[in-house]
Structure 1
Amino acid sequence: MGRAEDRRARQRGGHRAAPKNRRSSRAASQEGPTGPGRRRGRPGKSGKSGIRRLFTWRKMLGTFLGLCLLGIGGFILLYLLVSVPEGNAAAKLQSNVYKYSDGTVLVRDGEVNREVVDLARVPKAVQRTFVAAENKSFYQDNGVDLKGTTRGLLNTLSGKGAQGGSTITQQYVKNYYLSQEQTVTRKLKELVISLKVDRQMSKDDILAGYINTSYYGRNAYGIQAAAQAYYRVDADELTVEQGAYLAALLQAPSQYDWAAASETSKRLVKNRWNYVLDNMVEKRWLSASERQGMKFPVPKEPQGNPGMEGQTGYWVDAANVELARRLVAQGTAQDQDQALAMVKRGGWNLTLNVDKKKQAQLEKAAEDQFASKLDPKKRKVDANIQPGAVSVDPKTGKVVAMYGGVDYVKHYTNNATRRDYQPASTFKPVILAAAVEEAAETQDGEPITANTIYDGDSRHQVMDSGEKVGFAPPNEDDVDYGDVTVQTAMNKSINSVFAQMGVDVGMDEVMKVAGELGMDTEGMQAVPAQTLGSMGASPLEMAGIYATLDNHGKKVTPAVLASAEHKDTVVDLPDPVGDQVISRESADTVTSVLTGVVDDGTARRSVRDNPERDGQQVAGKTGTSDYGRSAWFTGYTPDLVTSVGLFGQDAKTGKQVNMAGATGTLPGKGRVNGGGFPAQIWAAYTFGVMDEVSKFDLDTTQGAAVKPTYTPTPSDEPTTEAPTSEPPTSAPPTSESPTRTPSQTPSQTPSQSPPSQTPSTEPPPSIPTTPTAPENPFLPDDER
């Protein structure tokens, strides 16, 4: 077929069969069983076209969009399921901060050294140092750094550890709501919660949470604890330079602590400090000129947190109890236990009334006058005596000094606040106060004043309307004094006189006045035996009673706390000085009489003759309880009231024991009495902190002030006859001395045998440490 035919065939729609040539023959020979057109060779070309069909750009884009939608859906579900939790317990823990009256820190007490402060208490420039250090976009971002979070997730999955780049919000969420563990789950929760927190909280609240929960090293959690740990200042006193260091410190607290840092670490933290300040200039939070003049603020050397040893623990416990009592009183807590739990939860900033100078002097007096003389290795009894003391400003009610025992970590019980020992004859002034306040009369109708005559014989039978009341307490060593004035009876601490006086006044009235003066009389029976001070009382309690007398009858409730602050709780502390509970004349009369105890009575050796007294006027009363188990001196000047007690307590069993033989320096058998060590401690302390000599301003028409109406002289032959049922004499006092005189001045603890027929000028011998006679429930005290 020629070319013309071929062309025509094409025009007709047909075609001429292609001639077989070598190439087409080879192709035909390669056809296999699968049919024509299917080639066996060139597999590479066939595979490539299959992959292209599988991974087309459309499929890849679709897959990517699907994964994105799946991720978004998963995140939406996660966002819906994950809620903002309660803050974890560890992040909420705070310490309680206890301060001296001058504002310096006494101690921080708690599991975590943290004190949460409001952001307003942190200078604005210091706030910005943390933003400049950690998250410059903090005020504009939505709380998360997606790039940093993604990097962190990849690092976690690959096992490379913690990531950087988290926002301040994320770090706050990690500190406050979550934990420090490095897991994908925790990081996803952190992302979701951070977004929610950023929407729910203001930036200021988030920043405050961040700087209050972060760890700064030196056991300091939060900016307030850090400011104290590194610069000994409160957060509101931090400078920009100091703030920049604390902000830089958060990157590596242990490594960047200047006190322990290597030269390399010091260089690194300085570089970061500069970085923080440069960022502040960049953000226009700091001028270039201000920045130029700043020098690196080298932190102070670390110091150990003051512990609870010594007297500190006693103060902390006393403050906690007082605060808890106020929380109950104002309805914040239902009972004392619940209130104490609230206090222990932490976060309290408590300022105490403790005066550094007076506290130091009281501790020194207790050590020098008593504790240093104890030697338990030589004398077993020396291990069984614990001192306690409280000092109160009568004009303000502030507890300015307190001694709770030898050491809080060695002797846990606070002897200044314990109420399980008898106050003994230190209760006698309360009886006199009740007598004067109630205008009471003797059984013969004579007004009771400082000059009223009473029968001072030992075991005088107490009478009420001509009837015996079944109470006849012995005097010290069974000494008979005959007719004596009330002033002399107070000076010599004559039991029989005050037992009768209590019945004359009416024991109900006595206990009522005791309660008004400040004694806790709940559950106490109004019985004549209480005239011996047989109830329980604490030095704190007795200091309050005598402070009310010193304050001319205006109620003084000793206050340990000056202020109590907590972020979530408002505490209203009442004025320690209250209303007039007894008349000024009544209170001043008792004060007048008590000056005689010091100048002509049982406290004269330790107080009147003290070379440091320098003419200072003093009123006070000694006391020694049954069997020598406690000894007291509670005394006061116009400006200071202090109650000191010694308490005999077996170091192993905790039982109350006789203190006789302590220190091995006392005369005779070594009886311990109120006019001895307690009065010595009192004098060394009071005269040691006295700024100037002061005088009492007394408004009274009775009382002998410094000198008693008369001083009895011992007779040659003291009376030893048995007590009679005759009532005390009703004769009014005269200027003449009564015909009956006391046999002698009491000594210091009760005797087990009748008094000697011929008294000596020296105190009679004391009883053995272990009595051989049956115990007498009304055994009197010595040098009370």
Structure 2
Amino acid sequence: MGRTERQEKKGGRIRRLFTWKKLLGTFFVGCLLLMGAFYVIYLMVPVPTANAQATMQSNVYKYANGKILARTGEINREIVGLEKIPRDVQDAFVAAENKTFYKDNGVDIKGTARGALNTVTGKGKQGGSTITQQYVKNYYLDQDQTVTRKLKEMVIALKVDQRMAKSEILAGYINTSYYGRSAYGIQAAAQSYYGVDASKLNVAQGAYLASLLQAPNQYDWTAASATGRKLVEERWNYTLDNMVEEGWLDPAKRAGLTFPVPQKPKAAPGMEGQRGYLVEAANQELMRQGLREEDIRAGGWTITLNIDEKKQNALVAAVERQLEAKLDRKGDEKDATVQAGATSVDPKTGKVLALYGGIGATEHWTSNATRRDYQPASTFKPIVLASALENDAKTQDGRRIGLGTIYDGTSRRPVEGSDVPFAPENEDDRRYGPVTVQKATNSSINSVYAQMIVDVGPGNVKKTALDLGMKDGPDFGESPAMSLGTMGASTWDMAAVYATLDNHGVKVTPTIVKSAQHKDRRADLVKPIGAQVISRETADTVTKAMTGVVRSGSGFRAAGDYHAAGKTGTSENNRSAWFVGYTPELVTAVGLFGEDVKGNQVTLTDTINEGRANGGRTPAQIWGDYTTRALGGGSDARFDLETDGSAVTEPDAPAPTGTTTGSPDPTTPAAPTGSPDPTPPPTPTTTTPPQPTGTITIPPLPTETMDPTEPTGPPVDPPVGGEGERDDRRRAVQ
């Protein structure tokens, strides 16, 4: 038999085996089997009772001592009948989610099959379910994306569609959906986003709320990224266009509609004062650890915070005494722009012991303790010093950088060795001439730290900053201007950095949650104490440098009956003022921020005091007031320091002829009652001027001495600008 004959015989057998009649019969049999299987499933799957989220519980938040701080999570929902929801708002929800809602039988076979396939193949969550299916998912099932759950959803949706009227299903869907901002149901959403009852919503607002359901957190206009805003506006337009297409909205009216920007979020009732800030900080920390927002909102959690009730009250009282009592928020527009924030941490455990988020969570929802939109200014300079020490950096002429290293403190001095030009102005354009790094730290001399960051390398400094606990961002550039703290940071971030320095270079991650327990599980929490990120010698040397800031530098108002180290900071245009400092037992970052009623950054000048509101004034006074009371009036604890040997207190080189050394300001207020006399101790009589080149030789001096160029009396506050933090970025090529 030839090859051709064999092929024809084989082909004939295949054709006889797979005739069109057999294939069609197999298809019908398969369909009947599937239909039979689905019918069996239909009979076996009952309509269940409401799920846990539909009957949400409250959450209980406690202080570290077990006392209840707040109760939240009572479902923020008020069920409203469909008759109270404007018809065009009802139509907006149908247009956004399911145009065939009034015609279908409750399921979308194609959408469900597509969703199941995407789940199996790992392509993520699937839209396309009908309103009935989404109602079933919200009320009867859970949010898990599994094939089994999708199948149950379809079966139950068919039964619900047979038993309930379309109006009941639509009302259930609108009232059970989650809209973000802790709002469940359209009534709570209308109040949260537009401050009106659901009955007062217009079609534009209704279309936004309907569009929001696709991604409540991503599409919340006030918190959304540029991409999120673009996406929700596109979906809003899609919803309205569908309404026109279905004949539910007049085209002329549609053409006149503009996007209805929602109001800023406000805390739920019961979150007045600091409670709202503390609860939100705890929730955010739990979500960073992997707990879903819907899990928290569903309730049933007992969340114990690390907050020490006595220290929390002491921090609030310190802000009240040193700031709020001096402001007229209702009668003075400038006073009303002053915002305060603070974070206090135990450096040995990482526990957040106290937090101040603002005047009250129901009045100013954004927490000033955790916001990162203001510059930390000169509180960043110790990080530059830490990086110099850690990297064994040298000056341009080859001298190793330490606290005794001499730099040129001339104001507006162009930095050397940088491809990016930079010549920052010192405070009040003050000319210092040759100064030690210790003196430059005490007086926050910009020209010295601008040159130092060039000597170390901005990239190295940024790495050190991130290692210590700062957060990266688009404004965290690598240039000489970074030495002046031009990136964004929160009091929480800066407390983390300084706690790591206080903890001898061992990483401290501030944690506000002590424990979070549910009836059937326990949340995993971050370990607050990590690895050694910089050497102990480096951390302790930086601590030694900052003791001079409090003892005889710009932070003298923070001094008290305790040993302390710290740094002041005042940002460009006086928009923020900081004092971040620590004792051996306690680290606290305090910030003042200028913010108008529209949320724009404004200057603090001529607000809390005449002239600039620098970090060495009110922030340092708040810090000192709080620290004194938090430590029970004071402390004998001392820093246990292992420095690099450059930390011996020493005088600065004599200023050259004509250099301004400053004089006491007769208008400078006296140090707070109970604080040590800020007048520096007598100047040693023996000094050795710096050598022109090579190693600087300075003889040993008695401890706790001042630089001879330091003016007697408290440091002078210049009338304008920061501590020279006018970074003059106009001169820099960014």
Please give the range of the TM-score, normalised by the shorter of the 2 chains. 0.5 to 0.7
Tell me which residue corresponds to 2:6.
none
Distance 2:728 2:45 in 1: 74
Match of 1:697 among 616, 640, 659: 640
- In the TM superposition, what is the alpha-carbon distance from 1:476 to its structure 2 partner? 0.9
Alignment map for 1:103-502 (pairs within 5 Å): 103-112=66-75, 307-327=270-290, 339-464=292-417, 469-502=420-453
Unmatched tracts of structure 1, length 5 or more: 1-78, 115-175, 179-304, 333-338, 721-727, 749-760, 769-773
Tell me which residue corresponds to 1:626.
572
Distance 1:525 1:764 in 2: 29
Q: Tell me which amino acid in the other structure corresponds to 1:682.
A: W
Tell me which residue corresponds to 1:682.
623
Distance 1:306 1:690 in 2: 33
User: What is the DSSP-based 3-state SS (H/G/I as helix, E as strand, rest coil) of the residue aligned with 1:387?
Assistant: strand
Tell me which residue corresponds to 2:58.
95
Distance 2:654 2:276 in 1: 48
User: What is the DSSP-based 3-state SS (H/G/I as helix, E as strand, rest coil) of the residue aligned with 1:662?
Assistant: coil
- In the TM superposition, what is the alpha-carbon distance from 1:573 to its structure 2 partner? 1.1
Q: Tell me which amino acid in the other structure corresponds to 2:647.
A: A
- In the TM superposition, what is the alpha-carbon distance from 1:714 to its structure 2 partner? 9.1
Taking a change above 3 Å as real, the CA distance of residues 676 and 729 of structure 1, as seen in their structure-2 partners, is farther
8 Å CA contact 1:479–1:742 kept in 2: the answer is no
1:601 aligns with 2:553: yes
- In the TM superposition, what is the alpha-carbon distance from 1:765 to its structure 2 partner? 3.5
- In the TM superposition, what is the alpha-carbon distance from 1:567 to its structure 2 partner? 3.5
Distance 1:539 1:393 in 2: 14
Distance 1:98 1:729 in 2: 63
Distance 1:522 1:568 in 2: 38
Q: Tell me which amino acid in the other structure corresponds to 1:544.
A: A
1:549 aligns with 2:501: yes
- In the TM superposition, what is the alpha-carbon distance from 1:96 to its structure 2 partner? 1.6
Tell me which residue corresponds to 1:525.
477
8 Å CA contact 2:347–2:586 kept in 1: the answer is yes
Unmatched tracts of structure 2, length 5 or more: 1-41, 78-138, 142-267, 663-690, 701-706
Taking a change above 3 Å as real, the CA distance of residues 698 and 361 of structure 1, as seen in their structure-2 partners, is same
Distance 1:569 1:747 in 2: 59
Taking a change above 3 Å as real, the CA distance of residues 601 and 439 of structure 1, as seen in their structure-2 partners, is same
- In the TM superposition, what is the alpha-carbon distance from 1:350 to its structure 2 partner? 1.0
User: What is the DSSP-based 3-state SS (H/G/I as helix, E as strand, rest coil) of the residue aligned with 2:729?
Assistant: coil
Taking a change above 3 Å as real, the CA distance of residues 470 and 364 of structure 1, as seen in their structure-2 partners, is same
Taking a change above 3 Å as real, the CA distance of residues 107 and 778 of structure 1, as seen in their structure-2 partners, is farther
Tell me which residue corresponds to 1:261.
none
Q: Deviations over 1:314-340 (max 9, x none)?
A: 01111111100101xxxx6xxxxxx22
User: What is the DSSP-based 3-state SS (H/G/I as helix, E as strand, rest coil) of the residue aligned with 1:622?
Assistant: strand
Distance 2:47 2:548 in 1: 72
Q: Tell me which amino acid in the other structure corresponds to 1:637.
A: T
Tell me which residue corresponds to 2:592.
646
8 Å CA contact 2:337–2:594 kept in 1: the answer is yes
8 Å CA contact 1:714–1:742 kept in 2: the answer is no
1:661 aligns with 2:589: no
Alignment map for 1:57-76 (pairs within 5 Å): none
- In the TM superposition, what is the alpha-carbon distance from 1:391 to its structure 2 partner? 0.2
- In the TM superposition, what is the alpha-carbon distance from 1:501 to its structure 2 partner? 0.7
Aligned length: 465
Taking a change above 3 Å as real, the CA distance of residues 90 and 736 of structure 1, as seen in their structure-2 partners, is closer
Tell me which residue corresponds to 2:463.
512
8 Å CA contact 1:714–1:744 kept in 2: the answer is no
Distance 2:45 2:392 in 1: 76
Q: Tell me which amino acid in the other structure corresponds to 1:627.
A: N
Taking a change above 3 Å as real, the CA distance of residues 709 and 779 of structure 1, as seen in their structure-2 partners, is farther
Q: Tell me which amino acid in the other structure corresponds to 1:630.
A: S
Distance 1:747 1:416 in 2: 33
Taking a change above 3 Å as real, the CA distance of residues 730 and 459 of structure 1, as seen in their structure-2 partners, is farther
Taking a change above 3 Å as real, the CA distance of residues 575 and 453 of structure 1, as seen in their structure-2 partners, is same
- In the TM superposition, what is the alpha-carbon distance from 1:479 to its structure 2 partner? 1.1
Match of 2:720 among 766, 769, 772: 766
Taking a change above 3 Å as real, the CA distance of residues 742 and 461 of structure 1, as seen in their structure-2 partners, is farther
TM-score normalised by the chain length of structure 2: 0.59
- In the TM superposition, what is the alpha-carbon distance from 1:746 to its structure 2 partner? 13
Taking a change above 3 Å as real, the CA distance of residues 779 and 463 of structure 1, as seen in their structure-2 partners, is closer
Q: Tell me which amino acid in the other structure corresponds to 1:690.
A: L
Taking a change above 3 Å as real, the CA distance of residues 453 and 678 of structure 1, as seen in their structure-2 partners, is same
- In the TM superposition, what is the alpha-carbon distance from 1:660 to its structure 2 partner? 1.1
8 Å CA contact 2:432–2:659 kept in 1: the answer is no
Q: Deviations over 1:93-119 (max 9, x none)?
A: 0112111111221111113499xxxxx
- In the TM superposition, what is the alpha-carbon distance from 1:347 to its structure 2 partner? 2.1
1:732 aligns with 2:691: no
Distance 2:653 2:43 in 1: 92
Distance 1:515 1:746 in 2: 38
Distance 1:177 1:586 in 2: 59
8 Å CA contact 2:496–2:509 kept in 1: the answer is yes
- In the TM superposition, what is the alpha-carbon distance from 1:620 to its structure 2 partner? 0.3
Q: Deviations over 1:113-152 (max 9, x none)?
A: 99xxxxxxxxxxxxxxxxxxxxxxxxxxxxxxxxxxxxxx
Taking a change above 3 Å as real, the CA distance of residues 415 and 729 of structure 1, as seen in their structure-2 partners, is farther
8 Å CA contact 1:715–1:742 kept in 2: the answer is no
Distance 2:60 2:731 in 1: 46
8 Å CA contact 1:480–1:743 kept in 2: the answer is no
Q: Deviations over 1:602-631 (max 9, x none)?
A: 011x123xxxx22x1100000000011000
Distance 2:644 2:49 in 1: 68
Comparing 685-694 with 568-577, which one deviates more in the overlay? 568-577
Q: Deviations over 1:754-773 (max 9, x none)?
A: xxxxxxx96553379xxxxx
Q: Tell me which amino acid in the other structure corresponds to 2:577.
A: A
8 Å CA contact 1:446–1:730 kept in 2: the answer is no
Q: Tell me which amino acid in the other structure corresponds to 2:439.
A: T
User: What is the DSSP-based 3-state SS (H/G/I as helix, E as strand, rest coil) of the residue aligned with 2:334?
Assistant: helix
8 Å CA contact 1:424–1:532 kept in 2: the answer is yes
Q: Tell me which amino acid in the other structure corresponds to 2:697.
A: T
8 Å CA contact 1:421–1:630 kept in 2: the answer is yes
Distance 1:479 1:502 in 2: 20
8 Å CA contact 2:433–2:659 kept in 1: the answer is no
8 Å CA contact 2:57–2:298 kept in 1: the answer is yes
Q: Deviations over 1:41-79 (max 9, x none)?
A: xxxxxxxxxxxxxxxxxxxxxxxxxxxxxxxxxxxxxx9
- In the TM superposition, what is the alpha-carbon distance from 1:446 to its structure 2 partner? 0.8
Taking a change above 3 Å as real, the CA distance of residues 450 and 399 of structure 1, as seen in their structure-2 partners, is same
Q: Tell me which amino acid in the other structure corresponds to 1:527.
A: S
Distance 1:473 1:742 in 2: 25
8 Å CA contact 1:492–1:745 kept in 2: the answer is no
